[in-house]
């Protein structure tokens, strides 16, 4: 049973010393109760309290970090089964496999492509996370050369894949500053791999595709060997068992507080795929359902962009909706005499309105007012979408310079603002648009007159 913030507070030193980076012990306790901060962040905890809080004070899924200064990756530390229950906190790392059997030039080219990839969406810059370099050749020198190429050409994170502890040791040594993921401890080689991971303080993947029991056994052994940062690879490379297995792992971790499975999961959706579309499909499922490190077999911008967008969507905090940047947007290619509409910066509101304007075939100017991510009626009710704010946006973004008329279309639901807005924007004509975005097209055709 999880403890409440108040119950945790009782075990704290109550000094408000701020060493945990929270201003009060209570504020800290609340974060621990939400299972997003580890109780060990309190340096003054008595041994007694520590023992009492052992289970309640540790997140059920460990936060695992890898990557160097140029690109840090944090995965795991999820607290819920469904994003609507709170949110998913740490988006999965999306990486690309590089086999050392490829030519140096091909590797270099791929690393450049992936490493330099960046796409912009709702004002955010999305990038890939790194490379899983595989010792497919079984040749140590070749592997080390490939690793060097990757490290030299990109600052992204790396996972190193080899079954041979000696080869792995050499590769990890080279990549140590990048804090690479060590892939993978199996039931044959776990002891050697654990030593390497421990020596370099790197996360270690445990892999067993023969059933969860065996994965658990391996995870326990590695943990006993002193490895804290573990990543699980249950070997789900097909639709057959992916959701099933990953659900079981996450449920055991969250609901039963089952430590051996309380780690992020790594998957390879493209292993069995015959086409890029098939790889995209399983990757999409695994991003949606519980994978924390997704390693692709291919890379192309047309594959990366949708997957990065999906990751962004799924890992958006449902209680803090995505906000659009305030400003004047062009939908279609508006001219100075095109309609000017205004709405709020709640992303879904923006998408609905922009989508309907787009569909109407009437290019328009869409002014987005900063309403702190609230939708039209909610924002109006909260006083964040009022005449003053709208007028401010009109002035701030120099809307008048872009259009030849002086009329602005208000969402029908806030018709009540019309009078006030006319006062605020003297010389402007305030038109009242339809109540629902879907009626925008009809409104433009039948009613709108600047």
Partner 1 sequence: MSRYIATAAIRGAHKVVRQAEELYADALKTVGPDAKIQFKDKGGGGTAYWLPVIYGFTGQKVETIGDLKKSLEHAKGLLPPLPGEHVWLPYLGETLDAGMATLFAEEIIEGIRFAKGQQPETRNGFTFNGPINDVQMRGWGIQMVDGRMPGFAALLGAAKNNEVAVKIVRELQSKGQLVFLSSSSNGRSIVDQLLESGVQLGYDTFTVPFGTDTISTIYALGYASRATFSFGGVTPGDFRRVLLYNKFRCFAFALALGPMDDVKWATGAGAISYGFPAVCDTAVPNILPTGITQYEHVVSMPFDDIPGRDDMERAERLVQRCIEVRGIKIKIATIKIPVAYGPAFEGEVVRRADLQSEFGGKGGMCFEWLTTRPPEEVEDGKVTVVGPDIDKFEVGAKIPLGIVIEVSGRKMQKDFEPVLERQVHHFLNGAEGLQHQGQRDITWIRLSKNAYAKGFRLRHIGDILHGVYHNQFGAIVDKIQVTLYTEPKKVQELIEKARGIYKERNDRIAGLTDEAVDTYYSCSLCQSFAPTHICVINPERVGLCGAYSWLDCKASFEINPTGPNQPVKKGPCIDQTKGEWEGVNKFVYEHSQMKVDRFTVYSVMDSPMTTCGCCECVLALIPEANGFMVVSREDYSMTPSGMTFTTLMGTVGGGLQTPGMMGHGKYYITSKKFILTEGGIKRLVWLSKNLKEELGEELKAAAEAAGVPDLLDRIADGTSATTPDELVAFLQQKQHPALEMPPLL
Partner 2 sequence: MAPLEAPVEKWTGKIRELKLGSGGRKTITVGGGTTLPFVKFEGAQPHRPAIAIEVQDKEPTDWSEFLVSAWGDALKNPGAWAKKAAEFGADLLYIRLASAHPEASNTGAAQAKKSASEVLSAVDLPVIFVGPDVAEKDNEVLVAVSDVAKGQRVGLGNCVEKNYKTIAATCMADGHVAIAKTPIEINLAKQLNILLSDVGLSPDSILMDPTTGALGYGLEYTYSVMERLRLAALMGDGMTSMPMICTAGEESWRQKESKATLDVPQAWGDNQERSLIWENVTAISLLAAGADILVLRHPKTVVTVKAALDKSF
Give the binding site for partner 2 (CB under 8 A).
Answer: 82-84, 117-121, 212-213, 216-217, 220, 238-240, 242-244, 247-248, 251-252, 255-256, 275-278, 280-282, 284-285, 287-289, 300-307, 309-310, 312-314, 316, 318, 347-348, 351-352, 355, 358-359, 438, 441-442, 445
Token digits of residue 382: 């909260």
Structural contact between residues 175 and 200, judged by C-beta atoms closer than 8 angstroms: no
Q: How far is the CB of 25 from partner 1 (least distance, A)?
A: 8
Given the complex with partner 2, which of 365 and 428 has the nearer CB atom? 365
Structural contact between residues 142 and 164, judged by C-beta atoms closer than 8 angstroms: no
Residue ranges binding partner 1 (CB under 8 A) = 4-6, 9-10, 14, 16, 22-24, 26-27, 30-31, 33-34, 84-86, 318-319, 378, 381-382, 412-423, 432, 435
Taking the CA atoms of residue 248, residue 251, residue 252 and residue 258 in that order, the dihedral angle to the nearest 10 degrees is 140
Q: How far is the CB of 417 from partner 1 (least distance, A)?
A: 5
User: What is the residue-wise DSSP string for 206-223?
Assistant: EE--S-HHHHHHHHHHHH
Residue 381 near which of partner 1, partner 2, none (CB within 5-8 Å, type-dependent): partner 1
Residue 412 near which of partner 1, partner 2, none (CB within 5-8 Å, type-dependent): partner 1
Structural contact between residues 246 and 236, judged by C-beta atoms closer than 8 angstroms: yes
Residue 319 near which of partner 1, partner 2, none (CB within 5-8 Å, type-dependent): partner 1
Q: How far is the CB of 70 from partner 1 (least distance, A)?
A: 30
Q: What 3-state DSSP class applies to 298? A: coil
Residue 22 near which of partner 2, partner 1, none (CB within 5-8 Å, type-dependent): partner 1
**Strand pairing of 73-76 and 364-369?**
unpaired
Structural contact between residues 420 and 391, judged by C-beta atoms closer than 8 angstroms: no
Q: How far is the CB of 5 from partner 1 (least distance, A)?
A: 6
Q: Which helix (H) or strand (E) holds 252?
A: helix 242-255
Q: How far is the CB of 410 from partner 1 (least distance, A)?
A: 8
Q: Which helix (H) or strand (E) holds 391?
A: helix 387-396
Q: How far from each other are the two terminal CA atoms of the chain, in whole angstroms?
A: 62
Residue 23 near which of partner 1, partner 2, none (CB within 5-8 Å, type-dependent): partner 1
């Amino acid at each position: 049973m999880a403890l409440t913030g108040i119950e945790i507070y009782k075990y704290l030193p109550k000094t408000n010393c701020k060493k945990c980076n929270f201003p009060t012990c209570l504020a800290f306790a609340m974060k621990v109760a939400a299972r997003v901060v580890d109780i060990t962040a309190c340096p003054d905890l008595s041994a007694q309290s520590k023992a009492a809080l052992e289970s309640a004070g540790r997140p059920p899924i460990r936060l695992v970090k890898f990557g160097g200064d140029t690109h840090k990756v944090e995965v795991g530390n999820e607290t819920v089964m469904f994003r609507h229950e709170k949110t998913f906190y740490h988006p999965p790392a999306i990486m690309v496999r590089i086999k050392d059997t490829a030519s140096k030039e091909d590797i270099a080219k791929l690393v450049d492509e992936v490493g330099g990839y960046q796409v912009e969406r709702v004002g955010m810059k999305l990038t890939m996370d790194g490379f899983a370099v595989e010792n497919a050749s079984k040749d140590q020198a070749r592997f080390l050369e490939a690793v060097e190429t990757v490290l030299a050409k990109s600052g992204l994170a790396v996972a190193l894949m080899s079954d041979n502890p000696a080869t792995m040791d050499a590769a990890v040594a080279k990549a140590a500053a990048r804090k690479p993921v060590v892939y993978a401890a199996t039931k044959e080689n776990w002891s050697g791999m654990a030593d390497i991971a421990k020596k370099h303080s790197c996360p270690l993947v445990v892999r067993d595709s023969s059933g969860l029991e065996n994965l658990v056994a391996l995870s326990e052994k590695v943990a006993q060997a002193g490895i804290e940062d573990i990543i699980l690879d249950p070997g789900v490379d097909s639709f057959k068992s992916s959701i099933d297995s990953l659900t079981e792992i996450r449920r055991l971790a969250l609901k039963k507080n089952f430590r051996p499975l309380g780690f992020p999961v790594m998957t390879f959706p493209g292993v069995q795929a015959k086409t890029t579309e098939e790889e995209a499909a399983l990757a999409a499922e695994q991003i949606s359902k519980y994978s924390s490190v997704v390693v692709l077999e291919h890379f192309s911008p047309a594959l990366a962009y949708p997957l990065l967008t999906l990751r962004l969507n799924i890992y958006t905090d449902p209680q803090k909706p995505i906000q659009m940047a305030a400003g004047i947007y062009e939908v279609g290619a508006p001219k100075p005499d095109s309609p000017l509409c205004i709405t709020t910066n709640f992303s879904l509101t923006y998408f609905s309105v922009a989508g309907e304007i787009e569909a109407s075939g009437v290019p328009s100017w869409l002014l987005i007012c900063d309403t702190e991510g609230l939708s039209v009626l909610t924002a109006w009710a909260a006083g964040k979408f009022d005449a003053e704010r709208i007028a401010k946006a009109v002035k701030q973004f120099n809307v008048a310079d872009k259009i030849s008329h002086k009329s602005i279309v208000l969402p029908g639901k806030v018709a009540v603002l019309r009078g006030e807005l006319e006062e605020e924007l003297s010389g402007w004509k305030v038109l009242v648009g339809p109540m629902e975005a879907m009626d925008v097209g009809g409104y433009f055709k039948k009613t709108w007159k600047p």
